[in-house]
Amino acid sequence: MLLDGKVALVTGASRGIGRAIAITLAKAGAAVVVNYAGNVAAAKEVEQIIVSAGGKVMLVQADVADSESVDAMIQQTMAEFGRIDILINNAGITRDGLLMRMKESDWNAVIQTNLTGVFYCTKAVSKIMMKQRIGRVINMTSVVGLTGNAGQANYAAAKAGVIGFSKSMAKELASRGITVNLVAPGFIQTDMTAVLSDKIKEDMVENIPLARMGTPEDVAQAVLFLASDNASYITGQTINVDGGMVM
């Protein structure tokens, strides 16, 4: 299989896009570390699905916004599997609101988890990948990081930040056989978008050439490609999985 013998760590993997990525990578043969922040029931469900499919999986609770928590997660992963070939920085939160009403705490929480969390995880894993002389880092950004979005100044700033961070890492780590790429989902059916009103959803779909919301599996397939050896000559790039919403 495509990822036989590989070890993949997926942050924020208990729900939504992260869940689909974890399941997809496991089905492709990777041993998957399913990181979750708080929802243990959802994480156990992902574990069940992977085990039923004959895959290897380990659950690790850790808040990516906390560097000690991240270091402990990496240590647990290394103790269990002894290597990390693939890191998917997926964990993310939203605290939407217009700037005038955005609290400093809303700003800080989103930057800390969505941007600084990527820094913590990549820093910890890059040391391991440098020694291995091989690695794949795939960071989840968002089309919002490219276009901006009213009501999501914090989220868009963090996601744009992830793009600059990833391109810098692609340059720093290329000589050690490590590629760093991004996937930018558009309007995807998850808990994060489920809270939007039907009116907003209809309006958004109208602006999507492929005329539908995406599924977490649509995103997971792009991640699978970037994680595989098939993508070994691609680094520093962003693949939009958005039905053509942003071109």
Q: Is 130 in the site for another protein (CB under 8 A)?
A: yes
User: Has 155 been annotated as catalytic?
Assistant: yes
DSSP 64: T
Give the pair of three-digit tokens for residue 207.
């602006």
DSSP 38: S
- Known binding residue 159? Answer is yes
Q: Is 68 in the site for another protein (CB under 8 A)?
A: no
Q: What order of strands is seen across the sheet that includes strand 86-89? A: 57-61, 31-36, 7-10, 86-89, 135-140, 178-185, 238-241
Smallest distance from another protein to CB 177, Å: 12
- Known binding residue 158? Answer is yes
Q: Is 203 in the site for another protein (CB under 8 A)?
A: no
Q: Is 175 in the site for another protein (CB under 8 A)?
A: yes
For residue 119, what are the contacts with CB-CB under 8 A and spacing of at least 6? 165
Q: Which of 59, 7, 64, 8 is nearest to 35 (CA)?
A: 59
Query: Quick one: which of 146, 176, 204, 246 contacts another protein (CB under 8 A)?
Result: 176
Smallest distance from another protein to CB 49, Å: 37
Give the annotated binding-site residues for NADP(+): 12-15, 90, 155-159, 188
Residues found near another protein in the complex (CB under 8 A): 127, 130-131, 172, 175-176
Catalytic machinery residues: 155
